Structure 1
Amino acid sequence: MVSIAPQPPISNELVLTESRTMRAQTIERTDALAKVKALAMLPDNLHVTTEMAAAYYEVDTQAIHSLVRRNRDELEQNGMHTLQGAELRAFKVETGGQGDHLFNGARSLRLFTRRALLNVGQLLTESQVARQVREYLLNVEQVVRNDVAPRQLAQAKRLPPKTFRQVYFSDVPEGRFFQHLYTHGYLLDQRYQRKDEFGNLTKHGFRHGHPKAGKGDRLFMLPEVMHVDANGRLRGRAVVRPDRAEELVEQLISEGLRHNPSISRAPGRLALTTSSVVDGHQVEMRRGA
């Protein structure tokens, strides 16, 4: 009988290098970059070059080039792009003044958005900085998971919309997600409807973010505990009704919002699956209604 030596366990942070689903689930957390290390951007404050990406992760540029060759499609989906010709000339003027000294006369220029730069850190195995980025992402993801009961979503805490988005729709930018809730009749939009002490409309209305009558209050509710402000008014923001979470997810998907890859859907059933490492083995954990 031939015995097979057990494989060494995969460290937790390497789950992100192995699982595209987990990368998609944490890709919005671009704040991780600045949390781990000071981040230098181009003058537009939106992009970094290949050289700047290599400097951030403390590797040589060849490591970034190799990573791009292996993962081009995913990186481009997350904002990596290459400028040439007229686009490059215009970009040089916008970010580097009249000369092209900033890019050393480059005839093409690969740029990474923050999201693409984070994607590099999710994939790059030969960088200690990338490892710290992955550890930060997984720690934050664990906090989000702990907001959801481990088995039955119907028994979960009443999720605030921000946490609900992180769990189910993290590919959708937060601003767009809330705008969808406002314009589709879920929550009241009272942004900048109250005047400050100078008479400018800079404050939100007292009922901003409350469930809207009809469609909204069927799926959202006010929290059980609300606080009293300085004027004696009860204040609180909407939370998702725990027994309506599945219905809300299905409805938002039908309205065009892109759900997380971690959501599996079957007739009459919606569940959340996450990938984790247990005793050195990568396993899928399923939660759902």
Structure 2
Amino acid sequence: MVTIAPPVSNELILTESRTMRAQTIERTDVLDKVKALSLLPDGIHASTEMAAAYYEVGIDTVKSVILRNREELTSNGMHVLRGTDLREFKRETEVHGEPLFVGVNSLRLFTRRALLNLGQLLTESDVARQVRHYLLNAEQVVRQEIQPHQAVPARHMTPTTFRQVYFSDVPEKVFWDHLYREYLLDQRNTRRDALGNLSKDGYRHGHPRSGKGDKYFMLPEDMWVDAYGRPRGRAVVRPDRVRDLVEQLIAEGLRANPFISCTPSRPALTSSEVVDGHVIQFRRGA
């Protein structure tokens, strides 16, 4: 029988620690538990105005958080539509033939993950504080319920989260350049914007490369598919290949965090780490 610990009171740990945010980012179900969540007609995205309404703060407050945390929010699904992409989205979200975004030249969208990430970062919202309380309490219960010898595959671990857990000492640019050379398609700045400049990522940017990329990465099941049937989104690490990928990247010269050891000649103990609400086993150098 599991005894649930008292509620965690220091919810600001999530606003201060990106590692903690990464560990709880998959718990998007918390959003519906705290408050009814409204989404656009596609059932996947919310606008900036909708995000502000959910957290009961002003739009300027949301924009301020975006300005300080743009890279992290983008890695969790926030993106801006312009030009052809925006026109396609307007058609897809029409209600009774009427577009929702008349006269809009750009549109920032939040996925559930990005909305949850926003709540992890907002300090001026009572709703966001409730979201963080739920996240920390759920994380504490998961750590108590899962015994150390159990191994539950991580689900939908993004490359960003993977790096934070296993290769945080590797500079971000070095890590991504390696993935783009070996595992993921690099289509940065290969598509033209409304002015004809090559400043937009290709439609398959971040998808697994055939062969080596497919072995360790996959496209998530909940990707947004545009009007032309193109899956839009980035790859995630295959749940059953997390440790294999760690060992492979170490063999290729990336420096893993100190607690990771894959030297065959040394004895190793099985240990575990809770990531995204799931326990991942890895080898700790003896």
Q: So what's the TM-score if we normalise by structure 2? A: 0.55
Structure 2 counterpart of 1:56 = 54
- What are the Cα deviations for residues 4-36 of structure 1, in whole angstroms up to 9, with x where unaligned? xxxxxx951111000000000110111111111
Structure 2 counterpart of 1:265 = 260
- What are the Cα deviations for residues 72-107 of structure 1, in whole angstroms up to 9, with x where unaligned? 00000000000011111111111024443x224211
Structure 1 counterpart of 2:196 = none
Paired amino acid for 1:40: S
Gaps of 5+ in 1: 1-9, 150-155, 173-182, 185-247, 275-286
Structure 2 counterpart of 1:158 = 150
- Measured in 2, the distance between the counterparts of 1:267 and 1:125 equals 41
- What are the Cα deviations for residues 17-64 of structure 1, in whole angstroms up to 9, with x where unaligned? 000000001101111111111000000000000000000000010011
- Measured in 1, the distance between the counterparts of 2:139 and 2:20 equals 9
- Measured in 2, the distance between the counterparts of 1:94 and 1:147 equals 43
Secondary structure at the aligned position of 2:42 is classed as coil
Paired amino acid for 1:70: R
Gaps of 5+ in 2: 1-7, 160-213, 216-240, 250-255, 275-281
Greater Rg by CA: 1
Structure 2 counterpart of 1:28 = 26
- Measured in 2, the distance between the counterparts of 1:34 and 1:47 equals 14
Structure 2 counterpart of 1:251 = 244
Secondary structure at the aligned position of 1:35 is classed as helix
- 1:170: how far off? 4.8
Q: Structure 1 residues 126 and 49, CA, compared in 2 at 3 Å: closer, same or farther?
A: same
Structure 1 counterpart of 2:13 = 15
- 1:144: how far off? 1.4
8 A Cα contact 2:45 2:111, kept in partner? yes
Give the percent of matched residue pairs that are identical in Structure 1 and Structure 2: 54
Q: So what's the TM-score if we normalise by structure 1? A: 0.54
Q: How many residues are aligned here?
A: 182
- Measured in 1, the distance between the counterparts of 2:261 and 2:59 equals 44
Structure 1 counterpart of 2:137 = 139
Secondary structure at the aligned position of 1:103 is classed as coil
Give the alignment partner of residue 41 of structure 2, picking from 35, 40, 43: 43
Secondary structure at the aligned position of 1:12 is classed as coil
Q: Structure 1 residues 144 and 171, CA, compared in 2 at 3 Å: closer, same or farther?
A: farther
- How do 1:163-242 and structure 2 match up within 5 A? 164-165=153-154, 170-171=157-158
Give the alignment partner of residue 112 of structure 2, picking from 109, 114, 126: 114
Paired amino acid for 1:250: R
- 1:158: how far off? 3.4
- What are the Cα deviations for residues 220-273 of structure 1, in whole angstroms up to 9, with x where unaligned? xxxxxxxxxxxxxxxxxxxxxxxxxxxx863364478xxxx9994245667657
- Measured in 1, the distance between the counterparts of 2:129 and 2:158 equals 22
Paired amino acid for 2:75: Q
8 A Cα contact 1:13 1:135, kept in partner? yes
Secondary structure at the aligned position of 1:13 is classed as coil
